[in-house]
Amino acid sequence: MSEERLEHLLKQEIVVQPPEEFIENANVKDYEAEYRKFEKDPENFWSSIAKELFWYERWKKVLEWNYPHARWFVGAKTNITVNALDRHVKNGKRNKVAFFWEDELGNERVVTYGELYRLVNKLANALKKAGIKKGDRVVIYMPLVVEQIAAMLACARIGAIHSVVYAGFSAPALKHRIEDAEAKIIITADVTIRRGRAIPLKRIVDEAIMELSFIKQVVVLRRLEPKVDLIGEKEVDFYEFMNGCSDYCEPEVMDSEDPLFILYTSGSTGKPKGVLHTTGGYMVGTYYSMKTVFDLKDNDVYWCTADPGWITGHSYIVYGPLIAGATQVIAEGAPNYPDFGRWWRLIEKYGVNIFYTAPTAIRMFMKAGEEWPNKYDLSSLRLLGSVGEPINPEAWLWYYRVIGKERCPIIDTWWQTETGTVMITTIDSLPMKPGKAGKPVPGVVADVVDKEGNPVKADKGGFLVVKYPWPSMMRTIWKNPKRYEQYWNTIPNCYTAGDVAVKDEDGYIMILGRADDVINVSGHRIGTMEVESALVSHSAVAEAAVIGIPDPIKGEAIKAFVILKKGYSSSEELVDSLKQHVKAELGAIAVPSKIEFVGKLPKTRSGKIMRRVLKAKELGIDPGDLSTLED
């Protein structure tokens, strides 16, 4: 595509048709027909999908909807690992590759379904032996390695609730999650390797659990030589932990509504909240979307570049793909280390067919130049995906042209930790509009509405909501049921996602961004209050306010406004010290890119910081109604 043509396309509304060949072979050839099938009989729609999976006992009722509480596949019994592992091992896929794993240096590990099955079973037995029972919580703080995925599945095998914490979070952030979940065991590793550097994870765990006496055991995957020391009775080597354990563990019979995992995510309050997902509905939802949204076929090689520390990894590395029996690529470390060719080399090497990544990565590669992907053969690709934040049309078109060679449809998938699975995108047969995510996935009733819940006119902004329960929806917020209800009580009869959006005349939804005090940095949710609390815990800071500002690569970056305590004055060193402090409190992703020292912050008469006033000033836009401003 020439520069001129690109510019022309950007000015008008672009509609890109998926290739004929793609539609002909797609799992869903006719989106509208599939959606109508759902609308005609939602319960029958979901039950016919659920019937493709294994259950010890079928449901008595598909859905019990007691607003805002849903129960899916009521009374049914299953175990998600039987669907993700046993089913394949017993049906001719024992030696099918589940994962091609690589590190930054190109060291490989190939794991078949049979091998993964044995590892999960052994680890499940070890957890049992250590006293872990159904309903107990296990925190997993590990790099992207096969053992991380096995740890999640081992928990699910015995009915323990896993809570994976992304290995980029700092000790205090990890501590909060362990405490809130009241985990009995932590599974971790000595290090993760990123940009050629070993980042010590075990040390972060040590710091996090120093004061937590309820931790019974710390299981450590020791990767480096010489092996890190294990201290005291609580610490045990990952493989020694499994010594003597049988490689078959009878799966725990789980009720459809038994909890599967807790995953913490940031909101507009100070502390992250534990989103709880349950077994049956999540299993059916991830399986369905894997086959429809990602158009997964038996022979596909699929690569999702997320980490299981986020919901994307839970649903689209661990559960969805394994339940659907996929062969996957996973890669620990940075996308551009040792060079910008790493990802494209992997696509060539493994013949990746379906590739799922985030706009922030695409923009980074755009900046590095197309000579990098152009060095490699990307002709195996047939479907591209995007997730985590709005994808700007420029990045969309680059992804389409340079990576997909104008042959591969792009699915821009909108969803959330809370929704569990993809909610809005362009499924297979649907034309694409760069910058617009698309239409609700069959099974999802999404809309753009005003505060009262009335649909807004085409091309007018409003709140993105969901109006009908779906199987993979979160069931509650761990230890905070009121907070769960708020999602459904903000706008009448709607689940409020927290995003603002517009819908066009064709029903395509474009997500504009968060409506609340959440910043989306490189597709990761950061709560403004979390960063503010971290800042004010620094000895020099009296008050702080944090906003998101546009960033060409990250989508949004964090800007902090800081009032210093008496006796402190602004300096480069202080800026560095504040950044270091936020990194230590929360993790690298929450560090502000800009810090400005101010004498005063705009507040309401009741003392609440008016972040939108700061933002309007920063961006030179209209701040809106200022009648509540203090002065």
Strands (E), 238-304: 254-255, 259-265, 273-278, 301-304
Which of the ranges 48-56, 366-374, 519-527, 532-540 carries the binding residues for ligand WT7, by CB under 6 A? 519-527
Does 277 participate in binding ligand WT7 (rule CB under 6 A)? no
Residues 6+ apart with CB under 8 A from 112: 94, 95, 96, 97, 98
Convert residues 227-266 into a mask of x (bound to ligand WT7 by CB under 6 A) and - (unbound): --------------------------------------x-
Does 312 participate in binding ligand WT7 (rule CB under 6 A)? yes
Does 285 participate in binding ligand WT7 (rule CB under 6 A)? no
Q: Please identify, using beta-carbon distances, which residue of 255 and 412 lies nearer to ligand WT7.
A: 412
3-state secondary structure 18-54: CCHHHHHHCCCCCHHHHHHHHHHCHHHHHHHHHCCCC
Residue 569 φ then ψ, to 5°: -130, 155
Does 311 participate in binding ligand WT7 (rule CB under 6 A)? yes
Distance of alpha carbon 351 from alpha carbon 378, whole angstroms: 8
Beta carbon of residue 391, minimum distance to ligand WT7 (angstroms, whole number): 7
Indicate the SS3 state at residue 597: strand
Q: Please identify, using beta-carbon distances, which residue of 387 and 564 lies nearer to ligand WT7.
A: 387
433 class by beta-carbon count within 10 Å (0-12 exposed, 13-18 middle, 19+ buried):
buried
Beta carbon of residue 522, minimum distance to ligand WT7 (angstroms, whole number): 10
Does 484 participate in binding ligand WT7 (rule CB under 6 A)? no
Q: Please identify, using beta-carbon distances, which residue of 388 and 602 lies nearer to ligand WT7.
A: 388
Handedness of CA 19, 335, 190, 200 (dihedral sign): negative
Does 476 participate in binding ligand WT7 (rule CB under 6 A)? no
For residue 48, the tally of other CB atoms under 10 A from its CB is 12
Beta carbon of residue 466, minimum distance to ligand WT7 (angstroms, whole number): 12
Q: Please identify, using beta-carbon distances, which residue of 313 and 373 lies nearer to ligand WT7.
A: 313
Strands (E), 451-571: 461-466, 476-477, 495-503, 509-514, 518-521, 524-527, 541-551, 555-564
Residue indicated by tokens 């906003």: 547
Strands (E), 195-278: 197-200, 217-221, 235-237, 254-255, 259-265, 273-278
Does 390 participate in binding ligand WT7 (rule CB under 6 A)? yes
Q: Please identify, using beta-carbon distances, which residue of 417 and 476 lies nearer to ligand WT7.
A: 417
Does 136 participate in binding ligand WT7 (rule CB under 6 A)? no
Record the tokens describing residue 47, joined without a space.
Answer: 């039950």
Core vs surface per residue 347-379: b (16+ CB within 10 A) or e: bbbbbbbbbbbbbbbbbbbbeeeeebbeeeebe
Closest to 594 measured CA to CA, from 513, 519, 517, 515: 519
Q: Which residue is nearest to ligand WT7, using beta carbons? A: 417
Which of the ranges 50-58, 289-297, 382-390, 450-458 carries the binding residues for ligand WT7, by CB under 6 A? 382-390
Distance of alpha carbon 279 from alpha carbon 256, whole angstroms: 5
Give residues 313-372 in contact with ligand WT7 (rule: CB under 6 A): none
Distance of alpha carbon 283 from alpha carbon 260, whole angstroms: 10
Which of the ranges 139-147, 339-347, 517-525, 578-586 carries the binding residues for ligand WT7, by CB under 6 A? 517-525
Beta carbon of residue 4, minimum distance to ligand WT7 (angstroms, whole number): 28
Give the DSSP H or E segment for 330: strand 327-331
User: Is-cis flag, bond preceding 481, omega within 30?
Assistant: no
Does 414 participate in binding ligand WT7 (rule CB under 6 A)? yes
Q: Please identify, using beta-carbon distances, which residue of 228 and 515 lies nearer to ligand WT7.
A: 515
Q: Please identify, using beta-carbon distances, which residue of 117 and 414 lies nearer to ligand WT7.
A: 414
For residue 64, the tally of other CB atoms under 10 A from its CB is 16
Residue indicated by tokens 């996602």: 497
Q: Which of 281, 320, 388, 409 binds ligand WT7 (CB under 6 A)?
A: 388
Does 138 participate in binding ligand WT7 (rule CB under 6 A)? no
Q: Which of 34, 332, 389, 530 binds ligand WT7 (CB under 6 A)?
A: 389
Q: Which of 180, 252, 447, 499 binds ligand WT7 (CB under 6 A)?
A: 499
Distances (CA, A) of 176 to 271, 274, 411, 481: 8, 11, 35, 18
Does 155 participate in binding ligand WT7 (rule CB under 6 A)? no
If binding means CB under 6 A, how many residues of this protein chain bind ligand WT7?
22
Does 498 participate in binding ligand WT7 (rule CB under 6 A)? yes
Which of the ranges 212-220, 411-419, 527-535, 578-586 carries the binding residues for ligand WT7, by CB under 6 A? 411-419
Does 382 participate in binding ligand WT7 (rule CB under 6 A)? no
Does 305 participate in binding ligand WT7 (rule CB under 6 A)? no
Convert residues 442-461 into a mask of x (bound to ligand WT7 by CB under 6 A) and - (unbound): --------------------
Q: Please identify, using beta-carbon distances, which residue of 62 and 275 lies nearer to ligand WT7.
A: 275
CA atoms within 13 A on the CB side of 500: 13
Q: Which of 412, 517, 532, 556 binds ligand WT7 (CB under 6 A)?
A: 412
Q: Which of 63, 437, 535, 601 binds ligand WT7 (CB under 6 A)?
A: 437
Distance of alpha carbon 449 from alpha carbon 13, whole angstroms: 23
Does 497 participate in binding ligand WT7 (rule CB under 6 A)? yes
Does 514 participate in binding ligand WT7 (rule CB under 6 A)? yes
**Which residues of the shown chain bind ligand WT7 in the complex (CB under 6 A)?**
265, 311-312, 387-390, 412-417, 437, 497-499, 511, 514, 520, 523, 525
